[in-house]
Structure 1
Amino acid sequence: MDFLSRFSRRSFVKTAAATAGAAALGDALAACGGSGSSSNTITLNYWDYFVSQAPWVDNEIKLFEKAHPGIKIKKTIQLNSSYSNLYALAAKSHKLPDVAMIPPQPNFNIQVSQSWFMPVDKWANAAWKAKFPEGTFHEGNNVFNGKLYSAPISGAAPWLQLYINNKVFRDAGLVNSDGSVMIPKTWDDVTHFAETITKKSGGSTYGLGFGNSGGGQFQWYTHVFTLGAGATGGAYTMDYRVGKYTYNMDRNYYDFLSLFKEWKNKGYIYPNSVSISDEVSRAYFERAKYGMTIGGVWNQAEWTTHNFTDYSLTTLISPTETPKGYFPTSPGGTLWAIPAETKHPEEAWAWFDWLYSVDAGKRWAQQYNEDLSVFPQNNDPSKIKFKPFAAFVALGNLAKPAPDPSIRNPQTAHVEVQAVKPNLDDVIAGYYTGQLQDLQAALSDIEGRMQKAQDDAVKVAQQKGYKVSPDDYKFTDWDPTQPYITKPAQS
């Protein structure tokens, strides 16, 4: 899975929404069986799977309807985990909404080829595109066959953070001379702080904790702790310097996972972390059951509703204080699109345009503290009142542009890699719980299976006539400590 573009090929804000309820398929389809309207009012059916972000959406709807008295927005929140199937069923039944979040699967270019969405070039002129950062729109990402279909809402930032419960740190004496809590920067810092918390509390509080009953958390930890070590693929992508997965070849994975297991064996990690959910884990962190946990900015909204604000955050924990790599980012991104069958394209565009406006982005970042805005002018930490979110925004310098095969060769959008099971998260879980003893062999196995899936996908695309090759994923001139601007290949 490619994590270079949040809200494009994946989104953990979306993942956070997967815990929420949603309408049953039949009810959902019935709800969008055509856009209702009175004699003077057009009602647009709008689908998303935002849950923690719902207050921002609701406010935008209120403001939009006030500015457009002839248009009403009927919002339906769907369940992320079933959204792809739901949308496909709605497309087959010709009961699509008027504006919708793009389903995670299949690849967006395939959705476009199946006429699920319409291009927006009729309205999105040069002035509209110029509002976005340079490079936002490119073939193979949100442009297909020269036509634009979508845009990003969020800016580039480290999408995972290490959260620190300030009370736990203060109780353990982990404070600086000015009274502020110590912020871990290195693997050794985390080890020392976790040990101190566990021992000084007499075992009543743990250094670290997480909730993995829904899966994914082992990859989160691996991602945050290996990127800065120089493992440029982190837990989700290949190493683009060599164009291959390197879970076994890159020693950083073995070293970190061995350390992670050591933390467990020494009792520094909450012992039921594998069996509790991420939702429960967030509550336990809030209640000071452990001092450190990993999550995303989506945690902050929930904690704020509970009046829990006494925490700090950081990210990119590395073996050394100076990291050897950063969170990889890429220009582009997608989130919403206009279904091709809408009966109200002009009104749908008005709502689409509103969601992607600079002002909506400003409220997204500065008022509702959802994430960075795609518009850099909205991301000034000094203009954000909530200190934890301002701290998140300030982490933006730890994300740097990285190679993007889809820019150099847009035809790589046709390379559909099949999911590998057991995946990396499963393998790490097996090692953590003792089901797998030989970590080196396990990493070699997952590296081989991931690479085979990638190679097979390239071969299938080649057989379909697309001009792609394994070399499309190799960028030998990339220095992961520096921004990398991917240029289209010369034809």
Structure 2
Amino acid sequence: MVQKRKYAALFIGSALIVQGLTACSASNPNPNSTGTPVATGTAGDKAQTSTSGEKVTLRVMDWADSEKPFREKFIKDFEAKYPNIKIEYTLMSVDQFQNTITTAIKSGDAPDLYPIPGNMSLSMAVKGEWYQPLDPYIDDAFKNQFAEGAFVEGSTMLNGKIYSIPAMASVPSTLVFYNKQLFRDAGLDPENPPKTYTEFRQAAKKITEAGKGKAYGIIEGGKQIGRWKLAAMDWSALGGSGLNQQSPISLVTHDANYDGKEVLDVMNVFKGLKDDGSFHPKTMSISAPEARALFGEGQAGFILQGEWSIGVWKRDNPNLDFGVMAPPVPDAGQKGFLPRSSYSPWIGMSKTTKHPKEAALYLKEYFNKDYQSVLVKAGDRFSILKEVNESSSEIPQFKQYYDIAQKYSRLVPNPQIRNPELASVYGNYKDVQPGVGDILQGVVAGAIKEPNTALKQFSDIVDKSLDTAIAKAKSEGAKVDKNDFIFSNWSSDKNYSQQDYKSIQ
């Protein structure tokens, strides 16, 4: 899954990315300090068996690798509490999941519960009859335990019905972790991490030189396009691009400005790291979880990841001395903020499930304070439930991550909340490849020497694809317009509030 936060309004193709969810997944807690998860909750208090008398196998599939040990315990407790329900849980990588779930649905073999993939909008998934509404199976007591904004039309709801539950609180997953011991070895101050692009590149080079082939400046899960995409969009937003996961176009320029200076600057930072030999040699052949593991072993000075990594390192690499820093900003200074999305859809109930009541029991047990508190204490994610983060955060780096995220990120407007009929536009939007993530991956791999042309072509196609999707939605009767993506009352340094949606003209 991905931490208790993460993850992401999901726009088809390169225009949007799931928050979370293109991240690696949630992390695991240190069993010596966090206790064990107990599957108790509102649903379980009323029944200790399946809602029917027969033995039921409930199939659940996702990519929450960091949560694995907790989920195993959760499932064990769940099956003990509901002996008539057997959980068949399948854990995959993000990329594996996106391919597997599409094939499973087409063949009529979809699991009972699964998240929406990062390359698809909720509206398109519902249009394709992937999911069914959860409303008949969840009550107000269950819904009221979630933070405000968890269930919003155009995000997790369509036509007044709830189709999906977010995985976690919305927090950027592109902050930087750094190895303090490697800093010391390279003559760097571990309490004063780099703040600008130039300082970041110089620090990575020094760590690589001091590492003498045993440690490198930076490592990434180079196989995962989503991680490159997030880096390009989020870091460029700090430079003032106005790009974010919730819209295909910039909040600043009102078009797809992926070829703007802010994105090119990010590309050049990563190109410089590549030219310096600062990337770990395994970078392009590994996934994000594999990169996280090598960082935990002390093989790299920097890694871009989400908060879910913290619990994994605390459990698997207890001697790792690491810190958290904000992404570096252009040498000319910070011009914007990391975009923080409204809560993104994550898990939903299959349209074809034969066990909806049992699936609802699973959701009620999973989203209860006892289990969610375990994940927060473990440093796996920031919970979407009320009060859990405040009462359960214990790991210093976890608190540090949250504080940095609050300082350097702002909630950006979601066009689908402004006009729910945009669901038709998102549903008609055609994927654009190669996207900004593919381009950055190509730069680091050395396949793309100058990204300018590729970024310009990508930007032009995104603009045309959006115009085409709007025209198609209009022809289908939707009341939509390009202006629905333009927010005249948006300011990069402020959180976009519910009141702002009401006051925009």
User: Which TM-score band applies after superposition, normalised by the shorter structure?
Assistant: 0.7 to 0.9
Q: Is the 8 A contact 1:328 1:400 kept in 2?
A: yes
Query: Which residue is equivalent to 2:413?
Result: 403
The residue matched to 1:207 in structure 2 has which SS? strand
Which range is displaced more, 112-121 or 86-95?
Answer: 86-95
Whole-Å Cα distance in 2 between the matches of residues 8 and 204 of structure 1? 39
Q: Is the 8 A contact 1:8 1:152 kept in 2?
A: no
Whole-Å Cα distance in 2 between the matches of residues 364 and 419 of structure 1? 34
Structure 2 vs 1, CA of residues 43 and 263 (structure 1 numbering), >3 Å: closer, same or farther?
A: same
Whole-Å Cα distance in 2 between the matches of residues 428 and 327 of structure 1? 18
1:392 aligns with 2:410: no
Q: Is the 8 A contact 1:185 1:321 kept in 2?
A: no
Q: Equivalent of 1:257, from 259, 267, 271? A: 267
Whole-Å Cα distance in 1 between the matches of residues 52 and 437 of structure 2? 54
1:310 aligns with 2:321: yes
Query: Cα offset for 1:474?
Result: 1.0
Whole-Å Cα distance in 2 between the matches of residues 85 and 254 of structure 1? 30
Q: Is the 8 A contact 2:487 2:504 kept in 1?
A: no
Query: Which residue is equivalent to 1:144?
Result: 158
Query: Which residue is equivalent to 1:26?
Result: none
Whole-Å Cα distance in 2 between the matches of residues 419 and 308 of structure 1? 44
Query: Which residue is equivalent to 2:200?
Result: 190
Query: Cα offset for 1:230?
Result: 1.5
Whole-Å Cα distance in 1 between the matches of residues 270 and 231 of structure 2? 9
Deviations 1:366-389 (Å, cap 9, x if unpaired)?
A: 2x3221101251223x84333333
Whole-Å Cα distance in 2 between the matches of residues 88 and 272 of structure 1? 29
Q: Is the 8 A contact 1:44 1:72 kept in 2?
A: yes
Q: Equivalent of 1:359, from 361, 370, 374? A: 370
Whole-Å Cα distance in 1 between the matches of residues 51 and 141 of structure 2? 34
Query: Cα offset for 1:408?
Result: 0.6
Query: Which residue is equivalent to 1:412?
Result: 422
1:229 aligns with 2:239: yes
Q: Equivalent of 1:465, from 469, 477, 489? A: 477
Aligned pairs for 1:76-475 (under 5 A) are: 76-77=90-91, 80-81=94-95, 83=97, 86-87=100-101, 90-91=104-105, 95-104=109-118, 106-175=120-189, 181-201=191-211, 205-233=215-243, 237-248=248-259, 250-270=260-280, 273-275=283-285, 277-303=287-313, 304-307=315-318, 309-319=320-330, 323-366=334-377, 368-380=378-390, 383-397=392-406, 398-415=408-425, 416-432=428-444, 435-475=447-487
Q: Is the 8 A contact 1:191 1:263 kept in 2?
A: yes
TM-score (norm. length: structure 2): 0.79
Query: Cα offset for 1:148?
Result: 1.6
Aligned partner letter, 2:165:
A
Q: Is the 8 A contact 2:8 2:170 kept in 1?
A: no
Q: Is the 8 A contact 1:102 1:336 kept in 2?
A: yes
The residue matched to 1:227 in structure 2 has which SS? helix
Structure 2 vs 1, CA of residues 88 and 489 (structure 1 numbering), >3 Å: closer, same or farther?
A: farther
Query: Which residue is equivalent to 1:43?
Result: 56
The size of the alignment, in residue pairs, is: 464
The residue matched to 2:65 in structure 1 has which SS? coil
Query: Which residue is equivalent to 1:28?
Result: none
Higher relative contact order (CA 8 A, sep 6+): 2
Query: Cα offset for 1:352?
Result: 1.7
Whole-Å Cα distance in 2 between the matches of residues 351 and 88 of structure 1? 23
Query: Which residue is equivalent to 1:30?
Result: none
Which range is displaced more, 225-234 or 65-74?
Answer: 65-74
Aligned partner letter, 1:229:
G
Structure 2 vs 1, CA of residues 412 and 291 (structure 1 numbering), >3 Å: closer, same or farther?
A: same
Q: Is the 8 A contact 2:244 2:339 kept in 1?
A: no
Query: Cα offset for 1:167?
Result: 1.2
Whole-Å Cα distance in 1 between the matches of residues 228 and 128 of structure 2? 36
Aligned partner letter, 1:443:
L
Structure 2 vs 1, CA of residues 449 and 96 (structure 1 numbering), >3 Å: closer, same or farther?
A: closer
Deviations 1:157-204 (Å, cap 9, x if unpaired)?
A: 1112211011101112223xxxx5332232233134234334555676
Q: Where do 5+ consecutive residues of structure 1 fail to align?
A: 18-35
The residue matched to 1:164 in structure 2 has which SS? strand
Aligned partner letter, 1:16:
C
Q: Is the 8 A contact 1:197 1:206 kept in 2?
A: yes
Aligned partner letter, 1:335:
W
Structure 2 vs 1, CA of residues 359 and 165 (structure 1 numbering), >3 Å: closer, same or farther?
A: same
Query: Cα offset for 1:155?
Result: 0.3
Q: Is the 8 A contact 2:237 2:262 kept in 1?
A: no
Q: Is the 8 A contact 1:409 1:488 kept in 2?
A: no
Whole-Å Cα distance in 2 between the matches of residues 365 and 442 of structure 1? 41
What is the RMSD computed on CA atoms of the aligned residues?
Answer: 3.6
Aligned partner letter, 1:48:
M
Q: Is the 8 A contact 2:235 2:338 kept in 1?
A: no
Q: Equivalent of 2:88, from 57, 62, 74? A: 74
Query: Cα offset for 1:139?
Result: 1.8
Structure 2 vs 1, CA of residues 392 and 376 (structure 1 numbering), >3 Å: closer, same or farther?
A: farther
Query: Which residue is equivalent to 2:14?
Result: none
Whole-Å Cα distance in 1 between the matches of residues 504 and 392 of structure 2? 42
Aligned partner letter, 1:411:
E
TM-score (norm. length: structure 1): 0.81
Aligned partner letter, 2:343:
G
Q: Where do 5+ consecutive residues of structure 2 fail to align?
A: 11-17, 26-48
Whole-Å Cα distance in 1 between the matches of residues 175 and 95 of structure 2? 23
Whole-Å Cα distance in 2 between the matches of residues 92 and 191 of structure 1? 46
Whole-Å Cα distance in 1 between the matches of residues 468 and 300 of structure 2? 43
Structure 2 vs 1, CA of residues 140 and 270 (structure 1 numbering), >3 Å: closer, same or farther?
A: same
Structure 2 vs 1, CA of residues 293 and 93 (structure 1 numbering), >3 Å: closer, same or farther?
A: closer
Query: Which residue is equivalent to 1:476?
Result: 488
Whole-Å Cα distance in 1 between the matches of residues 223 and 96 of structure 2? 19
Q: Is the 8 A contact 2:21 2:118 kept in 1?
A: no
